[in-house]
Amino acid sequence: MLFNGWDNLFRTLIVGLFAYVFLIVFLRVSGKRTLLKMNAFDLVVTVALGSTLANILLSRDVALAEGVLAFALLISLQLVVTCSSVRTRWVRRLVTGEPLMLLYSGEFLPSALRQARVTENEVRAAVRSSGIDSLEKVRAVVLETDGSFSVVRPGEGVNASSLIGVIRPPSKT
């Protein structure tokens, strides 16, 4: 069917406008965390918000008030979980995981590569994109909790404080 009537179009327009405004307000109130680089948990919440918006727009069975409540619930749950993850380490590990070292002092860490399901070529690409031409010039490559790679260059001192909290597998085998 190509056209169900003007009332359906008008409803979609009005409800869509209000739902969009409410979603933007909730996202602004919830803080920048909701809009930052996403880990898997944040991605799930974002997809759920998009799905909720689509249901509000296209389903006559979902009232605007129900959709707004769903937005508020999803964003509130995300805030509770993220606040808990800031305060409690086990919640943080459960929700976001921990960064994983894939290369250290120019040497690949095969068990970490297997654990992360990352190839040596992907690590080399990350090193190249950092403008480094040799693995020997790299102190570490870390797979961050959002799926991005961080390439750490050797510093002048022996203190590698940026690597504190990064999981390093016990063996190179």
Q: Show the tokens assigned to 42.
A: 């944040």
Tens digit of pLDDT for each residue in 43-59?
Answer: 788 889 899 999 988 88
What's the confidence (pLDDT) of residue 164?
Answer: 74
C-alpha–C-alpha distance, residues 156 and 163, integer Å: 15
What's the confidence (pLDDT) of residue 122?
Answer: 95
**Residue 119 confidence (pLDDT) above 70:** yes
**Residue 171 confidence (pLDDT) above 60:** no
pTM exceeding the 0.75 threshold for the entire prediction: no
Q: Show the tokens assigned to 126.
A: 């990350």
Mean of the per-residue pLDDT values of the chain: 84
Mean pLDDT for 148-161 is 76
